[in-house]
Structure 1
Amino acid sequence: MPDPQTYGLSPDWVPGPDGIPYRRAARVIVADEEDRVLLVRGHDSGEVTRSWWFTVGGGVDAGEDGRAGAVRELAEETGLVVGPEELLGPVLTRSALFDFARVTCRQDEDFFFVRVTATEVSHAGWTELEREVLDEVRWWHVAELEEAVGAGVVVYPAGLPAIVARLLRGWDGTAEHLDESSV
């Protein structure tokens, strides 16, 4: 299999044992003081009509732990700066198999949760690929998000509105695992 960068994937993607591009990722479920959750809408560079909403985050760098990656990704993608000790979790883990840029990819993710007081976001830290495929950043009330999902809007991970609602009531210290590796 060619190097994943051949397909326009970032350098944190490496060929997995099965030849499928693989990476570890850290994601952040960000809530504000109004109980809104911050999501990013992106589209597939290989199929521009396909788009979805998802949490802030991305690949974990070599030698970096998930918590440090989550803090770094949050700052790069939104300009919101938090300390590693402010993150709760991981509150969720996910294994996913998905298509992006006409390539099947495999990703293992750790999700963290944080509440922030600042709500103004910046795109200044976006990479060239992010500027190409990320379309919008928006704060959502859980009810709005549930309604959007009910109307067919694609949101990842699956069940995110219920996950957010649960976290807003207080984290119980457990980390549910979602296996979306056969989707």
Structure 2
Amino acid sequence: MIPSAKDTFLYFAYGSNLLKKRIHINNPSAEFLGIGKLEDHQLDFIRYTDNWQGCSATIVPVEGCHVWGAVWRVENVHMPALDRQEGVESNWYFPKTVTVVTQDGMHIECRTYQQSVNPPPRRDDEDIPEDRRPSLTYMDCILKGAKECGLPKDYIDKLKRIPHNGQESIKMKKLLE
């Protein structure tokens, strides 16, 4: 059960913010509450970011697919910092309220972010095209976060099969050390 708390919001993270060290850079109040599943969405990558030296993650509405992620409680005062990190002002991502199913079957409302430009849906057995692949550094961050949060093993195995572009971001590696 996820108790409510005054002056906070629930945030569903599915990308780099799975990792505690990453989310705390801009959102020091973030408290990990557990994991959840976003139904009828697919994890994908589309827009290249210099920070990561590859494409960043997004969620694409696709019936029958799901994305696992972390549920964080964040103080309302840190919402502008999270919006800045996600590039809301530059229209990189837009905030979206979604219903996430917790491990114990509760349905909770969370804020998450979806890129403003999304790729077309793809089949589960279809690789992400080379020009949309995340960097090695970004995928490493996602995988470390997925393990740290305790996402299901089969989902982590699925994440491990996502091809990367072979690039490393020295800037982000230093930030996350």
TM-score by length of 1: 0.34
With the length of structure 2 as denominator, give the TM-score of the two structures: 0.35
